[in-house]
Amino acid sequence: MGTDPFKTHPSPWISRFAPLVRPGGAVLDVACGGGRHSRLFLDRGHPVTALDRDIAQARMADGAETLEADLENGAPWPLADRRFDAIVVTNYLWRPVFPHLLEALEPDGLLLVETFARGNEAFGRPRNPDHLLERGELLRLSHGLQVVAYEDGIEGGHKVVQRLCAANGQGPKTIG
């Protein structure tokens, strides 16, 4: 069986907005998995902090600062007082972490999110409503940020996702 390109190639959504991150700005890759988005930003010259509860799987994040932490166990936010020019979250949803993400975003920093939404249960995993965004929920969770782009719907007839690119403040002036 071949390698799943969705686990090794960066998301087209994240790639689309990566050029808007301040050159050389620090990036946080939350629930980084294999590190495909860490690799994208490292290759663009950004210092990256790759965070996951099983950081050993983040082979593509070689060169990043790696941090193993379980965000769901009630422990304090592991990056207190740290700020980032971009925060990337894909295929992960833990609602209690959103206030920490917003607090960790630098002024004019970008929040880039792509994860599963209600309706995905018709196509496969995840099916648990705790792991699926409600309609428009991503906009509500990122309240106070300036939306650059947002999508909510069925992709390719095989999954339901919400995507967001939002800036803390005025944000980028042009889309590359």
Domain-located, residue 41: yes
Measured CA to CA in angstroms, residue 140 lies from 73, 81, 135, 153, 164 at distances of 24, 24, 10, 16, 11
Report the domain count for the chain.
1
Radius of gyration of the chain (CA): 15
For position 10, what pLDDT does the model report? Answer: 97
For position 129, what pLDDT does the model report? Answer: 83
SS3 109: strand
Structure-token match 């990056």, residue found? 79
Domain-located, residue 175: no
Profile the chain (176 residues) by mean pLDDT over runs of 10 residues. Answer: 60 97 98 97 98 95 96 94 97 94 96 89 83 90 94 86 91 54
Domain with 19, as residue range(s), is 5-167
Domain-located, residue 22: yes
Q: Please give the model's pTM, rounded to 2 decimal places.
A: 0.91
- CATH number, domain at 9? 3.40.50.150
Both tokens of residue 138? Answer: 């991503």
SS3 81: coil
Nearest to 113 by CA among 50, 170, 28: 28
Domain-located, residue 135: yes
